[in-house]
Structure 1
Amino acid sequence: MMPARARSVGVKSTVAPGLKPVLYLVGLVLLTAAAMMVFPMLVDIYYRNPDWQAFASAAMLAAVIGGLLVRYGRKSLKVGLTLRQAFLLTPLSWFSVAAVGALPFYFSEYGIVSRSIVDSVFESVSGITTTGSTVLSGLDGAPPGMLLWRALLQWMGGIGIIGTAIAILPALGIGGMQLFRTESSDRSEKAMPRVRQIAASIVLVYLGLTVLAAIVYWAAGMRLFDAVAHALTSIATGGYSTSDSSFGNWEENGIQWFATLFMLSGAIPFVLYVRLIAGEGRALWDQQVRTLVAFLAVVILALGLWLTLSGQYDPEPAFRHAAFNVVSVVTTTGYATADYGLWGNFAIGLFFGLTFIGGCTGSTSGGIKIFRFEVMALMLKAHFMRLLYPRGVFRSYYGERPVGDEVIGSVVAFFAVFFLCYAVFTIALMALGLDFLTSASGAVTALANVGPGLGEIIGPAGNFGTLPDAAKWLLSLAMLLGRLELFTVLILFVPRFWRG
């Protein structure tokens, strides 16, 4: 008999034969990606840019591959997925979209990524994982279709990770996510109507926030195209911009303050928005949200005072830059209004630490996530209490939910594997000849899906284009590992997984 966790993923108690259900779903994902390529193709046609042919070719190829997979696996998904199928589907679908997402970059006539496999893949992976690291420069003069495609990749990745975090990861029990297991992560026939309702509501909220952000940016002074592109990447907490200066290119009419709020909105669990619309007036004041807002307030206050007292800015720009860039890094968006690497050692150390944090689970943010730090704090508190009172019994609660040993063990395991991977990637990048700051910040910004690193090369004022190709491949792998919560990918390298 399979454990309860496995049964919650599907209704079958044994592994379904073959890969047909997985390949069928991957095919649907690829067909969706092909359909999304039509939008940048039409934009390039409108602007009479020859790059529309790159999107037409890429869309046709993605549609053919997706169509073949759907035809091969049709009628195979009659019941829920099994545990192993869910583990396999998650990385395979993300890897597939990253691969086809690179095709427009590769086929493009735009010189920086054209005909470069590693640059095309890096840009696509960074987009779909909502990391925001880029190999491109000269964005202000880049083809409009390519700029829109970068934004759409991040927008798709944002809604994709919300669905993964709500429906897949809790059922798999990865990194303590079982704490958030609800009927939305149960794909049995009984729960499916409710799951579809929740999913539809989240998509509408996601789309609504994106439209709202576009309208606000446009009204505040952005061109319509820039407003749409930044709206797509703000709510997705992705960070791709249409300008090399990122949001430093727009300071008028409070645009940076609005962007700060939209980045924060993307870092809040989207299920809470659904509950708010359903009539729960205090739904957004969830424990994760309270902790995130309190943490951000303290850090912004400290950095704003530092920038003011050190004479680098007057009070208003000091707190505006502090709020924007702190929220951008903590929510793993990756926008910037200035090169905060020039703000002094205090700022460099602060932003390096903030890169690890992340937003709330069930949001579009990456990083370790706020709730895992809260669970670790609960564990440490209980440990100290046991030292003081060896015979005492201390139970930990997260909000109103009891935190069992299984959740604590999963969170501890996640921390251990995260920092082990971080050490491995840092050392590997240094072995390729990169300096320590570039290697250390590059590794964590990839694993945490933040975007810019620190230092002259990959800092907020630089990009990843000059890195060795081997470093770009390593960082692409790190971005996918981090976006998929590590274990979803690493378990595929366990021999027993394939013998099941």
Structure 2
Amino acid sequence: MNIRPVLHVIGLFLMVLSVLMLLPAFYDALTHAGGSQAFLLSAAITFFSGLPLFWFYRDADFQLKSRQIFLLTNLSWLAVSSFSALPLFFLLNISYTDAFFETMSGITTTGSTVLSGLDSMNTGALLWRSLLQWLGGIGFIVLAIAILPFLKVGGMRLFQSESSDWSDKAMPRSGSIAKRVVIIYLGLTILCAYFYFLGGMNAFESINHAMTTLSTGGYSTSDNSMAHFSNPFIYWVSTIFMLLGGLPFVLFVKCLRGDIDALTKDNQVQAFVNFLLVLWFFFSIWLFTNSDYSLFESLTLVAFNTTSVITTTGFALTDYTLWGGFAATLFFMLTFVGGCSGSTTGGVKIFRFQIGAKLLRIQLKQLMHPRACFVQSYNGQQITGDILRSLIAFSFFFALLTTVLTLLLSLMGLDLITALSGAATAIANVGPGLGDIIGPAGNFATLPDAAKWLLSIGMLMGRLEVITVLVLFTPDFWHD
């Protein structure tokens, strides 16, 4: 395999990453927070690590083939995560394991954290965490295709390698899609920050939370997460923009190009929104009748927390595990439900549940009418064999990976609830798990280092939808 173009692009990614490290360095210098040196040192290490790769392989042929694309996707995420951990390692005096876990959780928009004392933490570190989630939400490959002309060759394959959901060709050129997606993503982030500011957040809090809301990442500037802001207006702003982050950005592009009904007529969007509304209605009534909350408080808490989990954001407003066994069980089940394809969310996307339900209905009809021929379609398109194989493979490996990771975590002494919910929340990129240790009121700091590395691998595999990573471990991948 010719890996020269892969190494060239990774070198370029590291050089760009080093420039991004200057943003929190500049902010720390401006506010006299005292963290500039750590960011400048990290930027220098990152830049001079990427420069040789970029320079020595600058003459590479950029006709990227399938294997190069998959290798580029995996190595770019690993390289960026590894070097992004340096500022936290130097600045916060934590182990590299903790720094890498925090960074991987941020870039994959998982939202799990090992840090505490956020309210008094260096502002540059907080800004860096939020910026990583914002970059990871839209995806490095999407940003690269929007900016780098030589990556637009085979751009749709690059979309698919980072997330199998970016395959809807809204426009003839993937570069055009990427540019418009980035513009919409940026615009919604600015709009979210504006509404947060209106709700009482200061400018720093507004920008940070806007980046982690649209990216459905869930990092906050406070240990109490969104509960730090006792304002229902902020809670509902967050709920709405988390929901928007869970919608397909390609459909936003179609809306801007004149197809106003692109969102409302899409089967996946309809199912996603309807599922949330029904869940809000019945769950809030249950909470109202089984607690001392008013009806509006129940609706606010339910809407915020369920949307946070389903969109895999991970913001916490209250410890919902204290609501009883039914609520804890429901939230654990919601961990496996993701948003729409082509969104910033993780988990098992809604369209996979829809196709699975269609196949079940057809199978039941086939049993009653063995000689009948039923056409399988979804969103106006026929469900082909490739789609079915992809669905079955993803579902199988998602379940298998969750099982294996749970077993490995339990071998390290973790109890069943912590091991199972930790594995599920890592692979689904949700954030908080269940139990006293990693639940909404806790964090991952006390876990063994080996568990943190395993969970970091799970986060990456979940963000790249499992198959993109597993393909590297097949013998055929490395042979012509």
What residue is the counterpart of 1:36 in the other structure? 20
Aligned to 1:9: none
Letter in 1 for 2:198: A
Deviation digits for residues 145-200 of structure 1 (CA, Å, limit 9, x no counterpart): 0000000000010111683998346756986x59x45376xxxxxx5xx2222211
Distance 1:394 1:172, change over 3 A: farther
Q: Is the 8 A contact 2:69 2:158 kept in 1?
A: no
| Cα pair 1:272 1:284 within 8 Å, conserved | yes
Q: Which residue of 2 aligns with 1:65?
A: 49
Rounded Cα–Cα distance in structure 2 between residues aligned with 1:326 and 1:183? 30
Shift of 1:226: 0.5
Q: Give unmatched runs, 5+ long, in structure 1.
A: 1-16, 185-190
Q: Tell me, what secondary structure is at the counterpart of 1:363?
A: coil
Other-structure match for 2:66: 83
Query: What is the CA-CA distance between 1:78 and the residue it aligns to?
Result: 3.9
Give the Cα separation in 2 of the matches to 1:24 and 1:394. Answer: 49
Aligned with 2:465: secondary structure? Answer: coil
> Which digits, 9 at most, give the CA deviation of each residue in 1:281-318, with x for residues without a partner?
11112211111001111111122111100024111111
**Within-5 A mapping of 1:185-334:** 194-252=173-231, 254-285=233-264, 286-334=266-314
- What does residue 436 of structure 2 align with? 456
Letter in 2 for 1:219: L
Give the direction of change, closer, same or farther, for the CA distance of 1:431–1:173 in structure 2 (3 Å limit).
closer
Task: Give the 5 Å matches for 1:71-470.
Answer: 71-79=55-63, 81-108=64-91, 110-111=92-93, 113=94, 116-160=95-139, 163=142, 167-168=156-157, 177=165, 180-182=167-169, 194-252=173-231, 254-285=233-264, 286-470=266-450
Quick one: distance in 2 between partners of 1:321 and 1:493?
Answer: 43
> Counterpart of 1:472?
452
Instruction: Provide TM-score, normalisation by structure 2.
Output: 0.94
1:427-478 CA-to-partner distances (Å, cap 9, x unmatched) read 1111111111111110000000000001111011100001111110110000
Query: Is the alpha carbon distance of 1:170 and 1:64 closer, same or farther for their aligned partners in structure 2, counting shifts above 3 Å?
Result: closer
1:4 corresponds in structure 2 to none
Match of 2:150 in 1: none
State the one-letter code of the partner of 2:392.
V
Structure 2 portions without partners, runs of 5+: 146-154
**CA offsets, 1:18-39, max 9 Å, x none?**
2111112212222221121111
- Per-residue Cα deviation, 1:120-161 (whole angstroms, up to 9, x for no partner): 100010010000000000100110000000000000101116
Is the 8 Å Cα contact of residues 2 and 68 (structure 2) preserved in structure 1?
Answer: no
In 2: Cα distance, 1:444 partner to 1:89 partner: 26
Aligned residue for 2:139, secondary structure, equals helix
Question: Match of 2:287, as an amino acid?
Answer: L
In 1: Cα distance, 2:67 partner to 2:427 partner: 24
Cα distance in 1 between the residues matched to 2:56 and 2:120: 43
Q: 1:174–1:104: structure 2 CA closer, same or farther, 3 Å change rule?
A: closer
Paired residues, what number?
469
Query: SS of the counterpart of 2:196?
Result: helix
Does the C-alpha gap of structure 1 residues 27 and 341 become closer, same or farther in structure 2, counting only changes over 3 Å?
Answer: same
Stretches of 4+ aligned residues off by more than 6 angstroms: none
Contact 1:163/1:199 (CA < 8 Å) preserved in 2? yes
Please state if 1:47 is matched with 2:31. yes
Per the alignment, residue 27 of structure 1 pairs with 11
Q: 1:266 to 1:171 in 2, by over 3 A?
A: closer
Once residues 162 and 31 of structure 2 are traced to their aligned partners in structure 1, the CA distance between those partners, rounded to angstroms, is 48
Aligned to 1:10: none
Amino acid at match of 1:167: M
SS of 2:418's partner is helix
Aligned equivalent of 1:188: none
What is the alpha-carbon distance in structure 2 between the residues aligned to residue 161 and residue 423 of structure 1?
29
Measured in 2, the distance between the counterparts of 1:208 and 1:224 equals 17
> How far 1:214 moved relative to its partner?
0.8
Asked if structure 2 preserves the Cα contact closer than 8 Å seen for 1:173 and 1:410, the reply is no
Separation in structure 2 between the aligned mates of residue 161 and residue 372 of structure 1, nearest angstrom: 24
Question: Following the alignment from structure 1 to structure 2, what is the Cα–Cα distance between the partners of residues 218 and 276?
Answer: 27
Partner letter of residue 431 of structure 1?
L
30 and 294 in structure 1: CA distance in 2 versus 1, 3 angstrom threshold: same
Q: How many angstroms does 1:51 deviate by?
A: 1.6
- Aligned-residue Cα RMSD (Å) equals 1.8
Q: Is the 2:73–2:141 Cα contact (8 Å) retained in structure 1?
A: no
Percent identity between matched residues is 46
In structure 1, what is the Cα distance between the partners aligned to 2:141 and 2:322? 35
Deviation, 1:68, is 1.7
TM-score w.r.t. the length of structure 1 is 0.91
